[in-house]
Copies of this chain bind each other. A is one copy, B any other.
């Protein structure tokens, strides 16, 4: 017996899908136009700069991003070609390798970040009350918890 969505749920769901699609497209375009980075490049660089250490193991980075290793491998190969990241051999484990942020990578993300954050402010947080921000956090936490529990 299927539980179809009722009218309120349907509205919320379609709104969510539309919002994500359009917001993502907009942020992507702006970031790309301003710096040549994609949103995924940005994620990678943010994780690398978050780190206290300048080098990071691939597996560790993959876990932080919640990406498959293969995806990360492909993506880093492309970013390496553009000079944004580099690779170093891993001393203790000859299978592994370190990812490092290049000077150029650091420069590019530092230049790109302000405008990107400003866009997020403008399109999202400027539109929301404090209560709505909290509600959004509650919603995402709850759904993430459920996804996690369902394994």
Contacts and interface: CB of A to CB of B under 8 A. Distances in A.
Interface in A18-35: 18-23, 26
Copies of this chain assembled into the complex: 2
B5 A137 contact: no
A141 interface: yes
Interface residues of A, number: 51
Contacts of A90: none
Interface centre among A26, A113, A139, A142 (most CB of B within 10 A): A139
Contacts of A138: 132
Interface of A: 2-5, 8-9, 11-13, 15-16, 18-23, 26, 66, 113-114, 117-118, 120-128, 130-147, 150
